[in-house]
Amino acid sequence: MPRRSVQEVIDQAIGEGRRWERLCYALVLFFIALGSIVLIVGVVRESGLLALDGSLFTGLFWPALRYADGVRRDLIRTRMYEMALAKAKTPAEMLEMLREVAGAGNEEKPQWAYSGAV
């Protein structure tokens, strides 16, 4: 089995993540569209239960949207790991940058990420 470079592994992980992100956004659109149609049909037919079902179905977009946002954040964090690996000149510097990325969470990007972005 041929050895792959770190760049190839990162690119593969990002590609796989993008597929999940697109699937989540497709589900968001599906839930909103179908739920809205059911809601409108329920209103036109004056069926309160059908309209309620449509509004509940439309609400299912929220979990898919949250998951898509999590996938997007993970993709950004993966790119930041890549930047840390590319910019570090010593193992100690690399370790410090990786710790910054791992601890970044919802905060802004680490300061070193702004200069000469990859």
54 exposure class (CB count in 10 Å sphere: 0-12, 13-18, 19+):
buried
What's the predicted TM-score (pTM) here?
0.59
80 exposure class (CB count in 10 Å sphere: 0-12, 13-18, 19+):
buried
- Distance from C-alpha of 23 to C-alpha of 71, rounded to nearest angstrom: 11
Q: Which residues, 6+ apart, have CB-to-CB distance to 65 below 8 Å? A: 24, 28
Taking the chain, what is the end-to-end CA distance rounded to the nearest angstrom?
Answer: 29
101 exposure class (CB count in 10 Å sphere: 0-12, 13-18, 19+):
buried
Please say whether the dihedral angle defined by the alpha carbons of residues 117, 10, 105 and 60, taken in this order, is positive or negative. Answer: positive
Q: Do residues 97 and 103 touch, judged by C-beta distance below 8 A?
A: no
pLDDT of 3 > 70? The answer is no
Q: Do residues 41 and 50 touch, judged by C-beta distance below 8 A?
A: yes
* pLDDT tens track for 11-29: 777 777 788 888 888 988 9
* pLDDT tens track for 25-66: 898 899 899 989 998 998 999 888 888 888 888 888 888 888
